[in-house]
Each structure stands twice: as structure tokens, then as C-alpha cells.
Amino acid sequence: MSRNPVVAVVDAYGTARHLGPLLRERGYALLLVRGPEAPPHEPDDGDPAAELVCSERPEELLGAVAAHRPVAVLTGAPSGAGLADLLSEGLGLAGNGTGLSAARDAGPLPGEGPVEGTFHVNTVSLDGRHHICDIWWAPRPPGADLWDPAGDVELLPRRGERQDRLADAAFAALDVLRLRTGPAHCVFRSTPDGPRLMGVRPGIAGRLPLLARQALGAGQLEWTVDAYVGPEWFRMRAGRDYGAY
């Protein structure tokens, strides 16, 4: 068992695999927890992290994770959100609880008519305080993966009438779903009456956090790590406009 404090990440695959290096830079050991919907994944070479496969008996997995004494349980890919809720609640750690896990997993909301393009709002929250990491416009109609737009995307400035409406709507949706801690991704369709919410998904949002890192120097990945292991730093900076980091 590592002497460094341990952070458990549920479903650390895809873009969420970049959480591991950020946590190790902060001096944390990484415990990978693989849920039943996650593809097999292996720790990076030299990574001392252990991987736990989700058991059909959650209490067994909870005990196995508890043995590592994690200081935090993070949602990696969105598939891990429900299990992260279960583990954090069972271990008495910061999280969103299991009361609304089913509602959070409901998927995209129905909409009327074709979707010409989508807006994407990435957030990270801590104890109910929400921060906008980045806002994107994807002009192409969404493909099979609504949450990870294909083709070119445009990073919008943080401020503007449209962006302020998106931010307010995203915050309201997070509050309804009681997503008080951790990363989330909100998708809106463009309508003549303004953006309309299509869905909210807890977890790290496709490739957009990597694009935000390139454009801004920090994005949802970095803010997620701050929320869990650097809360004072998060609170000090939350609410600032990106581009002013």
C-alpha cells in the first residue's frame, strides 16, 4: 500500500486517464476502480496504482476500496458517475450522493425538430459552488456521441449574452440534479428562442477538456483535481472568467 495519500478514480479511461498524471504531480497515489461499463484499461508503466474490477456485490468493492483509505473518490469517464456516488457516500467522502443517481444517468432530454448545432458547457463544482471551465459551439449536427462533438468546435469567450444564458441554465440544471461536487458536461441545442438544454452528464467531457488545456492552459481536468485535493485553491479562483487564469 502506498505511503502517499490515495485518490480513487472510477473509470479512468479516455480523456479521464489524464487525471492520473495530475494527481501524481500533487503527490497522490492513484487507485483505479473499473466499473462494469468501462473497457479494460491498464495503469501507465511504472504507475503503482491498483485496479479493482467492479463486483456484483457493491459492498465487497466498497470494502476493497476502503482498505486503501482514499482521501477522495473522483468520477473519471461519465460511466463511472453512479459507482463514484456509491463509493464516496459509503466512505463518507465528498460527492453527490446516490439519491439522484438514476436521474443523472437518464441521458439526453428529448427535443423537437432537427438539431443544427450544439453548445457545450463544461463545469466543475465544489460543495455547490459551480465554475464554468469552458463553453463551446459545435456547428455540425451531433452524431452518435452527443457528448463529444465531431469536427471543428469553437471556444466561445466566457462573457456575452448567449454565454451568460448558457451558464445560468447549466447552473440551474446542476442544482436540480444535486451535482454539487465534481465535473459535469451540459449540452444545449440551438433554437430560435435561444439555447435549450438537451442533457447533463457527470464526469470528464470527451476531448473538449484537452482542447481547453491547449487553448487556456487549464480546463476541466485541472479544475477537477483542484476541487478534490486543492479545495482552497479552487474556492479562491472559482468564478473567474477563463482566459484570465
Statement: residue 88 has pLDDT above 60: yes
Q: What is the 3-state secondary structure (H, E, C) of 196-239?
A: EEEEEEECCCCCHHHHHHHHHCCCHHHHHHHHHHCHHHHHHHCC
User: pLDDT-derived band of residue 89, with 50, 70 and 90 as boundaries?
Assistant: very high
**What is residue 45's predicted lDDT score, i.e. its pLDDT?**
42
SS3 64: helix
Rg (CA), the chain: 17
User: pLDDT-derived band of residue 114, with 50, 70 and 90 as boundaries?
Assistant: low
Region 121-127: what's the mean pLDDT?
A: 98
In this prediction the pTM is 0.91
Statement: residue 213 has pLDDT above 80: yes
- Domains, the chain, ranges and CATH? 6-104 (3.40.50.20), 118-237 (3.30.470.20)
